[in-house]
């Protein structure tokens, strides 16, 4: 559901009756307003506002600070506020200068038609809504990008740790295999034991067969334990053979 904007318009005009007349037009479309009698007062009100005004309607011919000068300064204070200059046909140069400086988004000529005036105000409020929506989307995109970056970093760190663990396990298994291969290739422990016992005349044929069976059973259990620790599976039929 689209967000409902709570618009407030700042009216700046040294003639209070004109300010009140504009205020009545704004109330007819349910828009709140704040009236200020000069550019200086308008700037103070902008600076003290807790939220930016949606639209500024400023008269050009005011004593002290002209409307175009006020809107130029208002742009620095509240750049997201839409700025309209109300002026007569004789102030074309002031309007042109304000447009060139980017101080105003539109001007309203005196005397105005009330219907046209209201439509111009509605257009200005829609422009402000678009600015606010774009900023909201930008902030959301920025937040999502930050979350995605953090997630990607975390996944990368987890992957690197996993790879290191696998590499370490592979190295340990390779080292174990080398030790096992060297043990069988370089020495025949069974024959060495058999020769020693025969030389001491401690074994006959029956005893030797029993010893073979015991040694094979013991070796099977040791290799089975090593295999289980490293994720291998020993054949089931060797122990009884």
Shared domain for 95 and 194, answered yes or no, is: no
pTM metric for this prediction: 0.59
Shared domain for 116 and 134, answered yes or no, is: yes
Shared domain for 70 and 99, answered yes or no, is: yes
Q: Provide the number of structural domains found in the chain.
A: 2
Domain closes at, from 100, 118, 144: 144
Instruction: Check residue 1 and give its pLDDT.
Output: 35
CB burial class (10 A; 0-12, 13-18, 19+) of residue 58? buried
pLDDT tens string 145-187: 777 777 777 777 777 777 777 777 777 777 766 766 665 555 5
Domain closes at, from 88, 111, 144: 144
pLDDT tens string 61-89: 899 999 999 999 999 999 999 999 998 86
Domain of residue 114, residue span: 8-144
User: Does residue 89 form part of some domain?
Assistant: yes
User: Does residue 239 form part of some domain?
Assistant: no
User: Does residue 2 form part of some domain?
Assistant: no
Q: Is the pLDDT of residue 235 over 70?
A: no
Q: Is the pLDDT of residue 4 over 90?
A: no
Shared domain for 23 and 138, answered yes or no, is: yes
Shared domain for 139 and 189, answered yes or no, is: no
Domain closes at, from 123, 144, 165: 144
User: How far is it, in rounded angstroms, from Cα 53 to Cα 236?
Assistant: 83
């Amino acid at each position: 559901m689209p967000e409902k904007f709570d618009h407030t318009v700042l009216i700046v005009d040294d003639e209070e009756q004109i300010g009140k007349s504009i205020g009545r037009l704004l109330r007819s479309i349910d828009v709140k307003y704040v009236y200020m009698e000069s550019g200086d007062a308008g700037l103070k009100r902008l600076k003290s506002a807790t939220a930016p005004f949606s639209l500024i309607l400023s008269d050009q011919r005011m004593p002290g600070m002209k409307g175009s000068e006020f809107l130029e300064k208002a742009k620095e204070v509240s750049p997201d506020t839409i700025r309209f200059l109300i002026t007569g046909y004789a102030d074309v140069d002031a309007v042109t200068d304000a447009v060139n400086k980017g101080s105003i988004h539109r001007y309203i000529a005196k005397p105005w038609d009330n219907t046209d005036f209201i439509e111009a105000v509605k257009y200005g409020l829609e422009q402000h809504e678009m600015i606010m929506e774009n900023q909201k989307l930008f902030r959301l995109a920025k937040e999502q990008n930050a979350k995605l970056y953090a997630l990607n970093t975390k996944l990368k760190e987890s992957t690197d740790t996993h790879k290191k663990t696998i590499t370490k396990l592979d190295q340990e298994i390779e080292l174990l295999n080398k030790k096992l291969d060297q043990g069988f290739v370089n020495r025949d422990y069974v024959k060495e034991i058999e020769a020693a016992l025969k030389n001491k005349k401690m074994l006959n044929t029956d005893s030797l067969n029993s010893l073979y069976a015991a040694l094979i059973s013991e070796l099977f259990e040791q290799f089975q334990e090593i295999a289980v620790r490293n994720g291998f599976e020993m054949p089931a039929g060797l122990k009884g053979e």
